Structure 1
Amino acid sequence: MATTSKKGGDSGSPDAAPSTSDGLALTEDVTFTVSLPVVPHEAPEDEAAVAIDEVAITPVTLTADGPTTTTITLVAEEVAVVPEEPVEEEPVIPALPEPDQVYTRRGRARGAVSPTPEPAAMLTAERLVTPPKRGRKPAPEGFLQALLYRATFGLVNVGDSLAARQRKALDARIGKHFEGGTRFVAVVTRKGGVGKTTISTLLGMAMADVREDRVIAIDANPDRGTLAERVAKQTRATVRDVVTRAPSIQAFSEFQTLISRDQTRLDVLASDSDPLVSEAFDENGYNVVADVAERFYSVAITDCGTGIVHSVMRATLQRADSIVVVSGGSVDEARLASETLTWLESNGYADLVQNAVVALNTATQGTNLVKLEEIEAHFQSRVRDIVRIPYDPSLATGSLIRYADLKPITRDAARELAALVVDGLPEQRVI
């Protein structure tokens, strides 16, 4: 409800009564009464959803000292939401239908036709395939063993002789399988003329004659090596040609034109015959040749020169997994071989010395005048093992070496050297 008041009269005479145009007198106060409908305020739903009803807010009064601060604390209630656990349904496995008829071949002859049609399940391997007969053991090796085997028409097989078993065991050691790259073997010495190239050739032939993979002998002697003269030459190419053509060598057939192959399947890569050119074969050149050899060979034998401080020797020793130190049978030859071990130990190759094998070449002069057992005892205290290489007329000429023409005792020594070297090579290597 609203009320409005208004005073009448002339402003010039305050005491005169107000009047209308028709001369009627008006009262001094007039009151109007208006009744307004009371409509309550209803908040919209979006405002009601965010309204804070339970917290009272005190209005802020600005004073001369500045506005006052009122802290409002809002309390949030945490509502834990528990996820519903999935209900695992057990798989329904339908039962197999019961067969109306049981199929069997019991009581039927082979090849007999069933009176009722057979299902495909009756075609089993036991029915169709005849089990292989157990094969007989191969004929034994050895005179008496073979004689007894033939006399009994193969019914009695006592196995190989002791010599045959030892030979096969040695073949198994030489033919050990390698994984993870080429194994490098360095043949070193500080003295010339002790048969280092001959030992390198014998070692390579003994390995290549047994192993099923490829074996190569690399002549890395910067002083005009003669390794290629120990086998029948089939090419005039040298290590220099490999360095030059390395970027274009993509397959073994291309590399094969640069090497000579022996009857034992030993591949030989020659050095340059010109001393001035061979001297230029340095560390970088050897690394190029070794990288190419790693693509095609499992074992690489490096015939090193006498210059142990030459850069080629440094690259050879860095790649070597094992070394063979060649010693003659004289006092100075044995002493220089021992000094070679000392130099290797002093220059960070002590692990190669511990794994080294010494080849004692007894074909050199003075062998009959010294005590070879004392030389062997000395090296046994420093290296892993030692092998004595006997004198052989086929090796004394210093020319071609035909593995089949060697004396049996010489071949046995070469095979023993190869087995010892392979024993020291890692079977697996991480690339």
Structure 2
Amino acid sequence: MMETQALDFPKIDAVLRANGTGEVTINGTSHAIQAEDEAAVLSQALRLITDTAAQLGRPVRVSTTDPDGQGLIVVSPEGIVSEAAPAKPSARRQKDPAPAAKERPAPTPVVPAAKETPAPTPVEPVPAAPVTFNEAVNRGQEPSTAAAAPEPVTRRSLKETSFLVSAPVLEPATRGWRGALTRLGFRMEPSPDELAEREDIRTVSQHWPGPRTVAVVNRKGGANKTPTVVMLSAILARYSGAATVAWDNNESQGTLGWRTEQGSHDNSVLDLIDSSQTLLSPSTNAAEIARFVHHQTADKFDVLRSDENEEGDHEVTAEEVDIAHQVLTRYYRLIVMDSGNTARSANWRRMIHHTNQLVVPVTAIEDRAEAARLTLQTLESRGGHDAELARNAVVIVSESTDAKRSMSGDALKRAKDEARRIADGFAPHVRAVVRIPYDPALVNGPIRYDALQPATQRAWLAAAAAVAKGF
């Protein structure tokens, strides 16, 4: 095989950067690469590596690094690329492991069963017939014993036969070195990071029976509640296609309407409650809800604003929360509720009654974290449904929004360390904890998913997947 012929000399490292540049280092000699796009960078890098392989007259191993992670490939003198498998121990080491262990500074952990029972010499069975399509797809399954006595052919029911392939076909890589090589015609498997992202996308894209309500709570202001509501609503609406509404259930004037698009009207939750009988009538069509919510054109969810009466002379009651929730569950599959800072208020407590999944956002600041802890403690002390929500909560820790782009490297590191410390503190007490990097697009003005940096988008996708697992 080409891979087994490749040696570790020369040492070749290839880097593909997110900014469209690259670098190939051969035995310590660096070759910087700049081109008009990722494909051109990769072509130049492969040309350098292929020339080296051609000069040696044999394949070479290449360690790859890209924004998606690290890998190992093999390149032949003809420019053929394959993925390198981990090196296997030689037969001599299998028979006499003790001397090799003395030579290594630290022994490699070995499964005990492998020590006690020597591996049998592999035998290549001669196939009686060509490998079928199903066998090729399911090649990880154990083959049937060749020496078994042939069974007599019996007629089987067509109900017991299927021509469908049950195992899903893994799509090739789309990102980093692996994705670039795939686009050049070399089918490469996705990296673990890309597989993890695909699984998060699959999780948030699913539909579930019946409506679901998510409550985003923290008794301290400035804890990132509103950005959390917007991001979860945007991701779940975009990927699942489920009708989604973000509801500002603040007991005072909430800010969700300020951070999102306004429609052609200024209606709020009070207008929806006043029109609830009409909206719940069997003769009312689904489009009528647009009179009361504000559609987010890019992020595909609607916003139900809180009352913006300057007099503030109306407090939403528990009964009104019930009415609004009944209306929204008729028109939407998913409701994400923003909340105020008073866990004792009637509308806050009634929101918790309707909640299926609790989300507790917190910025990496001590008082916000302490307020989040007290919020969870309050719910846990109430027992029953409230305590169950607290135990299965998702905590989302965002790096301090007070951070600035001009912060020094040491200050940024301290901010990340503080976010990690707070996340680790919550981890034993809730179902999941997700950390979100600082992003200036979340600080001021309308919030848009497309305005976020790629790393922030990926972190929020992980957060939404953690929430969706609770549905």
The two structures share one fold, judged by TM-score above 0.5: yes
CA distance in 2, matches of 1:410, 1:257: 33
2:277 to 247, 255, 258: 247
CA distance in 2, matches of 1:144, 1:381: 37
CA distance in 2, matches of 1:137, 1:344: 43
1:291 to 326, 347, 368: 326
Q: CA 1:211/1:278 → structure 2, altered by over 3 Å: closer, same or farther?
A: farther
> Residue in 2 aligned with 1:405?
451
CA deviations 1:332-388 (Å, max 9, x no partner) are 221111011111011221100111011112224499467333322221121111111
- Superposition misfits of 4+ residues, deviation over 6 angstroms: 136-139
> Residue in 2 aligned with 1:165?
195
**Code of the aligned partner of 2:432:** D
SS of match in other structure, 1:381: helix
**Code of the aligned partner of 2:229:** S
Contact 2:246 2:338 in 1 (8 A): yes
**Code of the aligned partner of 2:238:** D
> Residue in 2 aligned with 1:359?
396
Quick one: higher RCO (CA 8 Å, sep 6+), 1 or 2? 1
**Code of the aligned partner of 2:207:** H
1:182 to 211, 217, 234: 211
CA distance in 2, matches of 1:138, 1:289: 44
**Code of the aligned partner of 2:195:** R
Contact 1:187 1:301 in 2 (8 A): yes
Contact 1:330 1:364 in 2 (8 A): no
SS of match in other structure, 1:371: helix
Alignment of 1:210 with 2:270, yes or no, is no
Contact 1:392 1:407 in 2 (8 A): yes
1:167 to partner: Cα distance: 2.5
Alignment of 1:229 with 2:258, yes or no, is yes
Q: CA 1:314/1:141 → structure 2, altered by over 3 Å: closer, same or farther?
A: same
**Code of the aligned partner of 1:421:** V
Contact 2:252 2:312 in 1 (8 A): no
Alignment of 1:328 with 2:357, yes or no, is no
> Residue in 2 aligned with 1:256?
290
CA RMSD of aligned residues (A): 2.5
Contact 2:178 2:188 in 1 (8 A): yes
Structure 2: unaligned runs, 5 residues or longer: 1-162, 164-168, 404-411
**Code of the aligned partner of 2:226:** T
CA deviations 1:62-88 (Å, max 9, x no partner) are xxxxxxxxxxxxxxxxxxxxxxxxxxx
Structure 1: unaligned runs, 5 residues or longer: 1-130, 426-431
CA distance in 1, matches of 2:231, 2:183: 37
1:329 to partner: Cα distance: 1.6
CA distance in 2, matches of 1:138, 1:378: 38
Contact 2:376 2:390 in 1 (8 A): yes
**Code of the aligned partner of 2:277:** P
Alignment of 1:271 with 2:318, yes or no, is no
1:390 to 437, 445, 452: 437
1:418 to 458, 464, 467: 464
CA deviations 1:165-212 (Å, max 9, x no partner) are 332211111112201x21111001111112111111111111112112
Percent identity over the alignment?
28
CA distance in 2, matches of 1:326, 1:218: 16
Contact 1:272 1:278 in 2 (8 A): no
SS of match in other structure, 1:387: strand
SS of match in other structure, 2:258: helix
SS of match in other structure, 1:230: coil
Q: CA 1:165/1:314 → structure 2, altered by over 3 Å: closer, same or farther?
A: same
1:148 to partner: Cα distance: 4.8
Q: How high is the TM-score relative to the length of structure 2?
A: 0.57
1:162 to partner: Cα distance: 4.4
Contact 2:449 2:457 in 1 (8 A): yes
Contact 1:224 1:278 in 2 (8 A): no
